[in-house]
Structure 1
Amino acid sequence: LGDGLRPGGLPDAGDELQIAELYTLGRLVRKAREVGVQTMVEGPGHVPIDQIAAQVKLAKIATDNAPFYVLGPLVTDIFPGYDHITAAIGGAIAALNGADFLCYVTPAEHLGLPTVEHVREGIIAAKIAAHAVNLTRFEADFKKDYLMSLARGRLDWAKQFELSQDKERFIEIRRKRPTKTEACSMCGDLCAIKLINDMLQKR
């Protein structure tokens, strides 16, 4: 069930029309359930960061806890070209407060039709937001980050690559920013992990 009166910008978030429509969607959810039709409810696209939790919780109440998905929501309107990032910030907060699905937003949002690369960037940003919440809830998700932490502590690049969720970007940056040591090119021989490992091996 789509929300045609969802806010198209931050000043409209939570206005009377949006909330009235939300309760109308709740009535439609109940009617659909009465005849055995599954529903999910679309949520807002632009919401100030301090209103996201309340909006999600209100939506879940108004729709009898129907599956709720959000278009971001975008937490600022003045960074065109970066709406995948503003949406990921809002998406993480929304998911933490009960949103069930995140709709990806591309960098081209509000500017033009997205390219394949824009779609890729939007999906990655949404996956980051979702995983940031999921790892606080599911042991399997947290374990991935735990293993990555161990791999970084061992400067185990093969394992880091294996665990990386965007292997193409991993390889791209490693190739463009090479290093002559086993540490990355950020610190090189001055890498704190490398120095500690070297000291431990000398003991």
Structure 2
Amino acid sequence: MTAEFLVHIVDDDFAVRDSLVELLDSVGIKAVGYESADAFLTEHNQEMAGCLVLDIRMPGMSGLELQKNLKEQGSTLPIIFITGHADVPMAIEAIKHGAIEFIQKPFRDQELLDCIHTTMEYAKKSYDKNIEKKLVLDNLNSLTDREKEALELVSEGHPNKVIASMMGISQRTVENHRAKLLEKMNVKSTAALIKVLLLANSSQ
């Protein structure tokens, strides 16, 4: 199933939300607006793809609080903050906690569009990487306990002779394990196997 990449705009000012949705629509980017952080959270799910354009100051839950909430949920949606002059120190703090960028009011349409284009490209690459990581984890889960033991030793760089001794099996059996590992992990070489293991263990 192909993900639909949307720009999610969270701002309590209807005029701002409406104008941003129209602006993005005019350049062929799908967007949806939310009047509050709570309204966005009601619709949010882990399958959402795209990016979040978020006002830093709103009644009720602030943009910073929403960012924290999403981070705790494990959300991977990249965030662009919209800030007033007095909010810049807060926005810098938000960047430290993972936001992609902040745009200071008043901003030019093109400035925001450029930022959104860059962020959406990042979102698509991140989404593809997460899909690839999920496939790798699924493959890892298909391994038997014995294959996982062999995989750990292979990943540590031990030659077949050493692995055979450590596992109490013949070198031929180790070779069979290696071949099975490559097949199940859908790779062609030990180097490629190590690469997908690094992906599986990555934080992103």
Q: TM-score, normalised by structure 2?
A: 0.31
Larger-Rg structure: 2
Bigger fraction of residues in strand: 2
Task: Kindly indicate whether structure 1 or structure 2 has the higher relative contact order, using CA contacts under 8 Å at least 6 residues apart.
Answer: 2
